[in-house]
Amino acid sequence: MSIKTMRAVGVVPHRKELKLLEHPRPALAAPQDVLVRTLDVGICGTDREICTFVYGAPPKGHEYLVLGHEAIGEVIEVGASVKKFKAGDLVVPSVRRPCADPDCPACRADRQDFCFTWKFTERGINQVHGYMTEYFVEEEKHLYLVPPALRDCAVLVEPLTICEKGLAQAWQVQKRLPWELPAQPGKGRGHGRNAVVLGAGPVGILGAMKLKAEGFHTVVYSRSKKPNAKAALVESFGVEYISSEEVTPAQLAEKVGNIDLVYEAVGLARITFDVLEHLGINGVFIMTGIPGPHAPLPVNAAQLMRNIVLKNQAVVGTVNADPQAFRDAIHDLGVFKQRWPAALAKVITARHRLDAHRELLTGKATGIKNVIAFE
Ligand code: BGC
């Protein structure tokens, strides 16, 4: 019997190669499985980093790893026990899969985003093939239903989950403030609070949309001087854009007032720690970026420590996302699409054919979110 194959984009780390591969076409193997035809796959910084071979690992016993962890697809076939989906449904898959340790409380509670053992796997990143291929099979529990109205933007669900989890963490931390109120009618939970987003890539821009929708007075702080396309996009949905080449972190804090929340989505340690020095009283600093290897950098450690203590600050790192973050991201993309349809459409720079993968993954990074379309 010949095995049917399909096209896939992957890396062969031990040969430092990025390749268009012939990969076996998957089929349902268990009753809870769902066969999905890939529609769109987003390219992110992590994919580009895997293509520099400092990150990422193939499945055990395989020499290559199929890339891609941001996807939307159409259900083709479901296993006998699948209840949530039927053929034709649109779905977004999550990324991380649990470790096998019976004593990992996080993984056993479907919260592998907090895995204690670090033996989790991640589709398209770490020991499980990803979605940059024509079909994939996934268990029902790792897929989320997407309304047809979000077909064109649902590839942004996964990058938005990073902010959804990050902000949920910030609210958990701020439970320490006994007077924090739940959202009032017509006002979000962030009403009256100041948020700064570091970085104007897709994770930053989607985060800015979420913070704005939650009622925060939101500023995006990013390198490029105005005018530029990202600044124009951010300002089109009512968020101020400030260039770090024109305004220092100290001046930023003066302009903004008490910085209650920083959502770091830039992955650069220098600017992150410079802005941390200006976090406000009772503020929370959410870090999501993963910097590449770098020589040590000097930081104003005593000042940082004074601030963290005297101003009751919290610095929280957050990675990956939980099921609620996926559901919230799908809901919020619907909100963004209603409120700012033109801005949301512009987050996707272009849809490309599979042939463009090499340029997208290893060429100069351009635009905001580039997508490979499989249709
Ligand atoms: C992905 C996360 C993943 C992280 C670390 C990010 O690009 O969005 O899902 O956990 O990389 O591998």
For the stretch 241-275, pLDDT in tens is 999 999 999 999 999 999 999 999 999 999 999 99
Give the rounded percent of residues in the chain with a pLDDT score beyond 70.
99
Q: How do beta strands 348-352 and 314-317 pair?
A: unpaired
Average pLDDT over residues 167-194: 88
How far is it, in rounded angstroms, from Cα 280 to Cα 259?
4
Q: Residue 319 C-alpha to ligand 1 middle, in angstroms? A: 6
pLDDT of residue 187: 85
CATH, range 5-146+347-373: 3.90.180.10
Residues within 6 Å of ligand 1 by CB:
44, 46, 69, 95-96, 122, 125, 158, 162, 319-320
Q: At a CB cut-off of 8 Å and minimum separation 6, what does 233 contact?
A: 205, 343, 346, 347, 368
Domain 160-317 fold is Rossmann fold (3.40.50)
Indicate the average pLDDT of the chain: 97
Name the pLDDT band for 3 (thresholds 50, 70, 90): confident
Q: What is the DSSP string of 185-200?
A: TTS-TTTT-EEEEE--
Q: Residue 252 C-alpha to ligand 1 middle, in angstroms? A: 29
Residue nearest to atom 11 of ligand 1 (CA): 46
Looking from the CA of residue 46, the nearest atom of ligand 1 is: 7
pLDDT of residue 327: 98
Looking from the CA of residue 70, the nearest atom of ligand 1 is: 8
In the block, which residue shows the tokens 């890939």?
A: 38
Closest CA to 251 of 281, 211, 292, 221: 221
Name the pLDDT band for 184 (thresholds 50, 70, 90): confident
In the block, which residue shows the tokens 């910030």?
A: 170
Name the pLDDT band for 292 (thresholds 50, 70, 90): confident
Residue nearest to atom 10 of ligand 1 (CA): 320
Give the helix/strand (H/E) hosting 284: strand 284-287
pLDDT of residue 350: 98
Residue nearest to atom 1 of ligand 1 (CA): 320
pLDDT of residue 321: 98
Average pLDDT over residues 60-74: 98
Q: At 164, is the secondary structure helix, strand, or coil?
A: helix
Residue nearest to atom 7 of ligand 1 (CA): 46
Average pLDDT over residues 349-360: 98
Q: Inform me whether the pLDDT recorded for 48 exceeds 70.
A: yes
Q: Residue 145 C-alpha to ligand 1 middle, in angstroms? A: 21
From 48, 120, 162, 320, give the residue whose CB has the most ligand 1 atoms within 8 Å, as the site to mutate: 320
Alpha-carbon torsion angle 13, 17, 22, 25, nearest 10: 30
Which tokens sit at 83? Answer: 């209840």
Q: What is the pLDDT of residues 128-176, one digit of tens each?
A: 999 999 999 999 999 999 999 999 999 999 999 999 999 999 999 999 9
Average pLDDT over residues 337-361: 98
Q: pTM, whole model, 2 decimals?
A: 0.97
What stretch(es) of the chain map to CATH 3.40.50.720?
160-317
What stretch(es) of the chain map to CATH 3.90.180.10?
5-146+347-373
Q: Residue 318 C-alpha to ligand 1 middle, in angstroms? A: 10
From 50, 51, 95, 156, give the residue whose CB has the most ligand 1 atoms within 8 Å, as the site to mutate: 95
Q: Inform me whether the pLDDT recorded for 178 exceeds 90.
A: no
pLDDT of residue 90: 99
Residue nearest to atom 12 of ligand 1 (CA): 125
Residue nearest to atom 4 of ligand 1 (CA): 320
Q: Inform me whether the pLDDT recorded for 180 exceeds 80.
A: no
From 43, 44, 46, give the residue whose CB has the most ligand 1 atoms within 8 Å, as the site to mutate: 46
pLDDT of residue 1: 52
Looking from the CA of residue 47, the nearest atom of ligand 1 is: 7
pLDDT of residue 179: 80
Q: What is the pLDDT of residues 80-91, one digit of tens each?
A: 999 999 999 999
Name the pLDDT band for 232 (thresholds 50, 70, 90): very high
pLDDT of residue 354: 97
Buried/exposed code over 313-352 (b: 16+ C-beta within 10 A; e: otherwise): bbbeebebbbeebbebbbebbeebbeebeebbebbbeebe
Q: Residue 196 C-alpha to ligand 1 middle, in angstroms? A: 22
Q: Residue 290 C-alpha to ligand 1 middle, in angstroms? A: 9
